[in-house]
Each structure stands twice: as structure tokens, then as C-alpha cells.
Amino acid sequence: MHDFDLTPPSPAQRDALIAGLTGEEKRVLLQHGTEAPFCGVFLDNKLEGVYTCRLCGLPLFRSSAKFDSGTGWPSFFAPFDPAHVHEIRDTSHGMIRTEITCARCGSHLGHVFPDGPPPTGERHCLNSVSLGFTEEGQPLPNPLHREGAEAGTA
């Protein structure tokens, strides 16, 4: 497993990253919004590679863990590294769910449910606008200009 620097971006770095977001990306990533089902750019993506945090570039999910859940959002049965995704109890909308956020920058990604396929039984249900994608063999995004694994390839 690669070691990625999980130190949060500095306030100046965070402001610079946020400045590059669209209104919809800000609504989902920063205000815990949800994109409409069946419209996300990564729902039907079949390419091999790594899904990263749209804001800070941290690797979150591998394409090899992606599956068609039929829910209308990209779904994965396991994260790239469990340390890269934080789980938070979410009681909004009159139900109890588990929200998932980027462990480095805190951006809202989606939710995780206990109804996924083997081997984990988990369904990490993601908003496409919360993600970037790096095709296998290409350099991973490194918007924070970090050393080590950050400068590697997918």
C-alpha cells in the first residue's frame, strides 16, 4: 500500500482549490449535497484506474472495486485505502446513514451502506462531482504538490 500524506491542505491551499470548483461541485463537496441519480459522469465509466477526491486529489477508490449497484450513482465495494475515507453518522433526512468524506480535506463524497457485494458487503455510493479519475498508467493528481506516493501513477 502506498503512503499518502493525509495532512489537510493549509487554509490558503484550500481556498485555491475551492476557487477552481463549479457551483455544483461546491454544493456537493462543501455543503454535503447530492447530485441527481443516473446523471453523473462516472456512473458508466469502465476504464481502469483510480478515482480521486475532486478537491485534494487523494486516491479514494480503484476501478477494480467498482460495481453496478443499479442505484444511479457510482458504487464501490472497498476504498483505495480505508484510511483515505472517513465515516460519519448522518441523521439528516429523517434516517440514519453513514456519510463518507475525504480523510484529507473533509469533502463530502457520498454514503456507505451494508448492502454491497462480497468480499466486503459494503456499497460506497459516490457523487461523480466529488471525484476525479486517473486512467491506469497516468500520473495521479497532485494539487497540493506533495512528495512520495503523491507523485506516483495510477
What are the pLDDT digits (tens) for 81-104?
A: 999 999 998 877 787 889 999 999
This prediction's pTM: 0.93
Give a yes or no: residue 144 inside a domain. no
CATH of the domain at 50: 2.170.150.20
Give a yes or no: residue 6 inside a domain. no
pLDDT in tens, 13-68: 999 999 999 999 999 999 999 999 999 999 999 999 999 999 999 999 999 999 99
Q: Is 2 a residue whose pLDDT tops 70?
A: no
Look at residue 151 in the predicted model and tell me its pLDDT: 72
% the chain with pLDDT above 70: 98
Instruction: Give CA–CA dist 34/73, Å, rounded.
Output: 10
**Which residues are known catalytic residues?**
125
Give a yes or no: residue 77 inside a domain. yes
∠ CA 3-60-55, rounded to 5°: 100
Residues at the binding site are 53, 56, 102, 105
Give a yes or no: residue 1 inside a domain. no
Range(s) of the domain holding residue 52: 11-139
Is 3 buried (19+), middle (13-18) or exposed (0-12) by CB count in 10 A?
exposed
Please, what is the average pLDDT of the chain?
A: 93
Give a yes or no: residue 105 inside a domain. yes
Residues at the binding site for Zn(2+) are 53, 56, 102, 105
Domain count, the chain: 1
Give a yes or no: residue 150 inside a domain. no
